[in-house]
Amino acid sequence: MFTSVLIANRGEIALRIIRAAKSAGIRSIAVYSDADKGAPYVRAADEAVHIGPTLASESYLNIDKILAAAKATGAEAIHPGYGFLSERAPFVRAVKEAGLIFIGPTADVMDAMGRKDHARTIAERANVPVTPRFDEDGVTEADYPVLVKAAAGGGGKGMRVVREASQLGPSIDSARREAANSFGDDTLLIEKYVEGGRHIEVQVIADEHGNVVHLFERDCSAQRRHQKVVEEAPAARLSDAVRKTLLDSSVALCREVGYTNAGTVEFLVHGDNAYFLEMNTRLQVEHPVTEDITGIDLVQWQFAVAAGQPLPLSQDEITQSGHAIEVRVYAEDPYSGFLPQAGKALDVVWPADARIEASFERGQAVSTSYDPMLAKIITHGVDRDAARKAMIKALDETAVFGITTNIGFLRALVASEAFAHGDVHTGWLDSDASKALTTKPELPAEAVEAAAKLWAHTTVLPSGDPFGAADSWRSAGDPAPIQIHLIDELGQEYAFDFATEDFAHVGALAMVDSSGVSIAWHGQPWRLNVPDPMRAAHAVAGEADVVSPMPGTVISVTAVEGVTVEAGTVLGVVEAMKMELALKAPYDGVVTVVRAAVGERVGLGDLLFTVEPMEGA
């Protein structure tokens, strides 16, 4: 076994690998950018190296800087985590050429499985079921709907669902342009599109001695825009025949391609049919649910395989117990199209009775420079319903103040009837069926009362000094009630009269400051302020102003001052976390202000354009 490992990653996965290294007696080495100086994972490592500015291309994606850090610290091995350089074959080759151990598959295997067309060919050789494929001029009316997708990439880029012949040509053209821009390769696949399918994946791991095993399957069907939101293991309501097909096919695929170390084989399942999608040649974000049902530390096994050791257990010795569910906590606004968010965490509370994978704490800043995932929360139960109820309880005990997150959305999703019954498929969250979950709930009366009691509790002195308490105390007669007034974000006022005993103990997650209370209720944060007639009203953007809907970078500006535009005309485009959002004119008018410049970083709510209505309009 090697004695030191450098983690070429950041955040919660870096901390996860550091913990595994410490358990194995291996020296851990972290790398960090300017933005991550002092982050929890950096403090937890035995050694840490600064590798550059915040921009990922100048730090976590810079192969030379990663290898220089490894050389400077005497690292013997490199673990890539997931994302960043984890599936880049040139990085694997560079690590090997530097005389270091790469904890993952070989570069040749990564090349073979990294392209969807090549992976499909290998799957066919291994007798793994695949979806029907069509030539561009060979799609008949009976074949629709079909899926056009880029062969060289993922993440939804270069992907189009086509439902009729008239859409095929334009969809191919746009997908090809997007694929070329995103991946430098415009090769496309056209396959049968499976409506209402479930995303089921199999965890595999193989050593250099010919041993290949699976660690059962996971269900990752709860997705929005091809991004996983909730994962669980094992998959519920899966027939024995389909499960056997998935597990046997995954092992066969690994043997066919000569795979080593940990990987995941992904399938689309519809009824009794299963179709190969792709293989991820790395550790997955959702690996903790597999660990929780098998009792196996996957990172420890990765270390052993990379060191040339055989797998610790054979297939017959690997068992599963109970059910595990994982949710991904993101800095995003689920009620505004899941737009990425940024800011500083004023307070963070994680549940006590759940597994928390996070490198995120109070006072930490979140930027749009990296993926918006802040943490993962994992619960385990004797069965699926027990794990689900444990997750609901865990999310009720979770709060992030200061940054908008999806915690309330996650709580509502896991508690929903559709999720409870296992009716969520890959397209469900992007359909009208989930509209209630993506509509911001109304402020609950219970949350308002709890906030009022908390405010009362903090304004009444614990010492009992009657002259310092805000409780309308008087020297004679019955005690006067404590009167509390609060106002919500929409301007609605609330009034309460409390006796002292009413707020002796309030079981709610909240943060009280000099002007009011921030409270988390069922995972959803709310802000209630104490009315202040002396405080000036906050300035708000006028109807003519077009502001940035998210923090990010301006990548396009087409507006010109003095030019007349029609309603819906694109004035510019802002990009953040792989998402592009067009800023459009609110009505017919004249552009009077252009404050945006290509390459400029902007914050949430920054004024970028002003369009004044034309006279007489």
Helices (H), 24-88: 40-44, 63-73
pLDDT at 471 over 70: no
Among 17-26, 72-81, 474-483, 562-571, where is mean pLDDT lowest?
474-483
Q: Which residues contact 409 (CB under 8 A, 6 or more apart)?
A: 334, 335, 437, 438, 523
204 touches 254 (CB < 8 A): yes
- pLDDT score at 446: 93
Q: What is the mean pLDDT of the chain?
A: 91
Nearest to 516 by CA among 532, 500, 540, 501: 532
- pLDDT score at 369: 86
Q: Fill in the amino acid letter for 487.
A: I
pLDDT at 605 over 80: no
- Confidence band for 587, pLDDT divided at 50, 70 and 90: confident
- pLDDT score at 296: 98
- pLDDT score at 417: 97
φ/ψ (deg, to 5) at 278: -170, 175
pLDDT tens for residues 191-200? 999 989 999 9
- pLDDT score at 614: 74
Token code pair at residue 317: 């010795």
- pLDDT score at 549: 76
The rounded distance, in Å, linking the Cα atoms of 213 and 593 is 62
pLDDT tens for residues 75-107? 999 999 999 999 999 999 999 999 999 999 999
Please state the three-class secondary structure of 131-193 as a single string.
CCECCCCCCCHHHCCEEEEECCCCCCCCCEEECCHHHHHHHHHHHHHHHHHHHCCCCEEEEEC
- pLDDT score at 541: 40
- pLDDT score at 539: 34
pLDDT at 475 over 80: no
Q: Fill in the amino acid letter for 3.
A: T
Token code pair at residue 442: 């109304």
The rounded distance, in Å, linking the Cα atoms of 253 and 251 is 5
- pLDDT score at 548: 85
pLDDT at 47 over 60: yes
Q: In b/e form, how buried is each residue of 438-448, taking b as 16+ CB within 10 angstroms?
A: beeeebeeebb
Q: Is the dihedral of CA 604, 609, 615, 617 positive or negative?
A: negative
Helix axes 107-114, 89-97, angle to 10 degrees: 180
pLDDT tens for residues 511-544? 998 889 999 999 999 999 998 654 433 333 456 7
- Confidence band for 480, pLDDT divided at 50, 70 and 90: low
pTM: 0.86
216 touches 202 (CB < 8 A): yes
pLDDT at 224 over 80: yes
- Confidence band for 465, pLDDT divided at 50, 70 and 90: low
**Average pLDDT of the segment spanning 248-260:** 98
Helix axes 11-23, 298-306, angle to 10 degrees: 70
pLDDT at 604 over 80: no
Among 53-62, 342-351, 444-453, 572-581, where is mean pLDDT lowest?
572-581
Mapped onto helix, strand or coil, the DSSP state of residue 347 is strand
* Percent of the chain scoring above 90 in pLDDT: 76
Token code pair at residue 51: 């590798």
Domains and their CATH numbers in the chain: 4-103 (3.40.50.20), 132-192 (3.30.1490.20), 200-434 (3.30.470.20), 445-529 (no CATH), 545-613 (2.40.50.100)
